Structure 1
Amino acid sequence: MLFIHTPKCGGSFINRAFGKRHKACPSMTWKEARGHKTFLEYREIFKGRGENIYDYVLFTVVRNPWDWHLSWYNYVSKDVGAKKSGMLIEHEQIKNLTFSEYLRWLDDPEVERSQDDYARKQVSDWIVDETGALVSRHILRQETLEGDLNDLSEEFGLAINVPSGQRINASSNDDDYRRVYSSEEVEIIASRHQRDIELFGYKFE
């Protein structure tokens, strides 16, 4: 199996479920495959090793884009020295911004950007091919991750231990994400994440 780890979508929860077994994933054992690589990046990495990525079961986790951005903002802005995120450029730029200012920062063409520039991607960027089509039917959702992972485990007979009743994402805001958006800001994310909304059916609700 290959876990395509979309950032801020419960990857630590997945790792806890698999325990030591998660270290057997190519994304952990191959140095060039570590990090939040997209499917297209993985495909080239596999090709370089003489492997066919389509021989693997691919699975990933997606998340409501409005909630995803609030999580990004909380995580990176509060990550002093970028010790956890490694995103020092972004931290320095948004550490003193309000969430509303962060949303406008996303589209600022003048600011310096890191090579990965995760926050300006769509969640689906990690799991589509060059035509924009999904590359796996095993799409788990952060909102129902415990149940979805149990279903995946049953389908493939996985020897894993799915955590029960645990918080999925430690950087999530305890408040309902809907409370922090104005109507204009709802549309900012809707415009940025059109493909996510189309593919996964997410709504601001």
Structure 2
Amino acid sequence: MLLSLKHNFLFVHIAKTGGTSVRAALSRYRYRGPWGVPLFLADKLDQISGHRIGAKFPRHAKAIAAREMLPAELYDNLFKFVFVRNPWDLQVSSFFHIRRERPHVLEGVESFEQFVKLKFDPEREWNYMLDTSKELQRDYVTDMSGRCIVDFIGHYESLQADFDTACDRIGIPRIALPHRRKAEGRDDYRRYYTDETARIVEAHYRPDIEMFGYRFDAPAP
């Protein structure tokens, strides 16, 4: 999550949706304005304490966390935006990311099929790398009643165009997104699935599929 009080926006960062590139593009606006120094100090103190003092929103905090913590008038006046991604494509991205960044998490896992079965195994122990990208994207943008509480939902499949729209809404110049953590050597996501693993992902992400209009055979809604 990235908050700018001077430019009046809140970016809600869902894992594996291009958010690292969005954060990199918007980081220059984070500490501007009269509240910039307190925000910067709170960020650094939280890092020094090992995130024990809760002085900032976690990287992948949900919109409802900001709504509960910020004054209602402030939250309502922020431009709140987020990016979502085809759930089947997201799992392929997660597989390559974990295999590259934290290979020990996938020890003994040789294929994407094994990865899906491990990730959605209800009996396994909790693991940050597996479970962060297992959360429903819908939960990042809704309140406890299921009502959408963000102003703009962009899509990974049209990331630059939708980010341009967000920049226009914020009132800042459009920025070419840098390519951060871009996967190399991967094929079209549909080639990694069997009928069984496609159904596993569909069953888990049905609320996302219904809310954002995704289908297995079409990467964009």
Question: What TM bracket, shorter-length normalisation?
Answer: 0.7 to 0.9
How far does residue 145 in structure 1 lie from its aligned partner after superposition?
0.7
Q: Name the residue aligned to 2:14.
A: 6
Gapped regions of structure 1 (runs ≥ 5):
81-90
Q: 1:135-181 CA distances to partner (integer Å, 9 max, x unpaired)?
A: 12301111101011112222342134233xx6465137631000000
The yes-or-no answer on 1:45 pairing with 2:69 is: yes
CA contact (8 A) 2:85 2:156 kept: yes
Q: CA RMSD in A?
A: 2.8
CA contact (8 A) 1:142 1:168 kept: no
Q: Distance in 2 between matches of 1:12 and 1:71?
A: 14
The yes-or-no answer on 1:55 pairing with 2:77 is: yes
Q: 1:27-63 CA distances to partner (integer Å, 9 max, x unpaired)?
A: 986533131001222223325xx87422311101100
CA contact (8 A) 1:62 1:139 kept: yes
The yes-or-no answer on 1:204 pairing with 2:216 is: yes
* Paired residue secondary structure (1:129): coil
Q: Distance in 1 between matches of 2:190 and 2:97?
A: 18
Q: How does 1:26-105 map to 2 (within 5 A)?
A: 31-46=55-70, 52-80=74-102, 92-97=104-109, 98-105=111-118
Q: Which amino acid aligns with 1:135?
A: I
Mean CA deviation greater in 12-21 or 191-200: 12-21
Mean CA deviation greater in 20-29 or 119-128: 20-29
How far does residue 12 in structure 1 lie from its aligned partner after superposition?
2.0
Q: Distance in 2 between matches of 1:75 and 1:9?
A: 12
Query: CA 1:104–1:132 in 2, change beyond 3 Å: closer, same or farther?
Result: same
Q: Distance in 1 between matches of 2:66 and 2:171?
A: 25
Mean CA deviation greater in 33-42 or 4-13: 33-42
CA contact (8 A) 2:113 2:197 kept: yes
Greater gyration radius: 2
Calculate percent identity across the aligned residue pairs: 26
Gapped regions of structure 2 (runs ≥ 5):
1-8, 44-54
CA contact (8 A) 2:79 2:151 kept: no
Q: How does 1:113-192 map to 2 (within 5 A)?
A: 113-114=126-127, 117-163=131-177, 167=179, 170-171=182-183, 174-192=186-204
Query: CA 1:145–1:23 in 2, change beyond 3 Å: closer, same or farther?
Result: farther
Q: How many residues align?
A: 191
- TM-score normalised over the length of structure 1: 0.80
Q: Distance in 1 between matches of 2:185 and 2:155?
A: 18
Q: Distance in 1 between matches of 2:94 and 2:68?
A: 28
